[in-house]
């Protein structure tokens, strides 16, 4: 019974839960910002599962395998920058569509 409560197993289960929540958000939500947040939750779950797998596959005297941990850290940086780019593109898209709507409203009120 105590084998279930080990940190590696809990990290893996929490990561699997986050992957499920993120997939649900990406598939069901229509708003782009909500989909971006869903992708971030999905990525966090994958990183957590990968970290749990790295902890279980320890070798060479380390507490955990350092290669997957390095990949997770690199992935976190890449995911953060991709999220920042996605939010910037979403903001620009919102500005363009709001500008088009404002011009259309001006044309309708002016004519």
**Mean pLDDT across the chain:** 85
C-alpha 65/C-alpha 59 separation (Å) is 6
Mean pLDDT of 7-21: 89
Distances (CA, A) of 10 to 25, 49, 58, 68: 22, 10, 17, 18
DSSP annotation of 12 reads: H
Report pLDDT digits (tens) over 50-70.
888 887 666 566 677 778 888
Distances (CA, A) of 70 to 15, 67, 81: 18, 5, 17
Confidence of residue 15 (pLDDT cuts 50, 70, 90): very high
C-alpha 37/C-alpha 7 separation (Å) is 26
Report pLDDT digits (tens) over 20-33.
999 999 999 999 99
């Amino acid at each position: 019974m105590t084998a279930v409560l080990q940190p590696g197993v809990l990290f893996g289960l929490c990561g699997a839960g986050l992957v499920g929540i993120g997939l649900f958000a990406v598939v069901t939500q229509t708003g782009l910002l909500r989909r971006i947040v869903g992708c971030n939750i999905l990525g966090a779950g994958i990183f957590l599962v990968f970290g749990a797998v790295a902890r279980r596959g320890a070798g060479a005297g380390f507490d955990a395998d350092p290669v997957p941990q390095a990949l997770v850290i690199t992935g976190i940086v890449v995911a953060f920058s991709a999220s920042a780019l996605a939010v910037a593109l979403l903001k620009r898209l919102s500005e363009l569509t709001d500008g088009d709507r404002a011009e259309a409203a001006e044309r309708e009120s002016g004519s």
